[in-house]
Amino acid sequence: MDQTRRKLTVFGATALAVLLLDQLSKYWIRTTPELHSFTLIDGWLAFNFTKNPGMALGIHWADTWVISLVAIAATVIILVYVWKTMNPAGMAYMACMGLIVGGALGNITDRIFMARVGGYGGVLDGHVVDFIHFKLRIGDFDVFPYIFNVADMAISISIITLIIFYKKLMPEYVRKEQDDTPASGDTVPGDTAEAGAEAPVEKDHRAAGPDDDKDTAVADSDGKDSRTAGPDERDPETTPPDQKK
């Protein structure tokens, strides 16, 4: 199995696991009336069956079918992004993106089918099933007043993990583009060294002046031939009498 196929397997298996777990847990809550309001940990955690026509955290800014279309479009964009960043990505990154896509598909499934199942609308009119409720309160303040589901948990865990371990999990080419971009006015140390190594040595091309000619003449007189003169090269005036012919 090549690297690309392994990455797709990790991504697909993670997304499928989240989708199945999300839908099974929602079906279990919907079909079990005694769990519609059930305390797991007194004062902390409970099941509270609700149907959310809007987005996460109860945000409802448009009709349900519009929100459903936006959710589907966002999921398609995420899939395209995963495909384009798959080659430099690691397995952990693919698993995190599988959590996000699996969670998105879990909620989209509710939006497509739940209205038909509940008999209150058509396709894309479905309300998302939420049931996990943290009931912790500090005085009169609810620590987390929102009710969510397994799909929301998967998306949140993935996003938090990617933020905390950004440099280790995000695709290498994205990290390299951001880390290798020097700030304005900064000098990369390597550039300075290369500039110094490549700088040509300038030769002194000054025109020779009178003083330079004088120095040259002195140097030539000092550097005269110091060979021992042969018999034919000796000065007759300095040759001893007994050696004169």
What is the Cα 144 distance to its own chain's centre? 30
Residues carrying an active site annotation:
130, 152
> Residue ranges of the domains in the chain?
3-36+58-125+150-179
d(CA 57, CA 48): 15
- Mention every residue, 6+ apart, whose C-beta is less than 8 A from residue 219: none
Whole-structure pTM value:
0.69
Confidence (pLDDT) at 147: 93
- What does each of the 245 residues of the chain score in pLDDT, given as a tens digit? 689 999 999 999 999 999 999 999 999 999 999 999 999 999 899 999 999 998 776 677 789 999 999 999 999 999 999 999 998 899 999 999 999 999 999 999 999 999 999 899 999 999 999 999 998 888 888 888 889 999 999 999 999 999 999 888 888 655 565 556 555 545 545 454 444 444 454 554 454 555 555 444 444 444 444 444 445 545 545 445 554 44
Confidence (pLDDT) at 51: 93
Q: What is the CA radius of gyration of the chain?
A: 42
Confidence (pLDDT) at 218: 41
| DSSP per-residue codes, 73-139 | HHHHHHHHHHHHTTTT--HHHHHHHHHHHHHHHHHHHHHHHHHHHHTS--TT-PPEEEEEEE--EET
d(CA 65, CA 107): 13
Are 185 and 101 contacting, i.e. CB atoms less than 8 angstroms apart? no
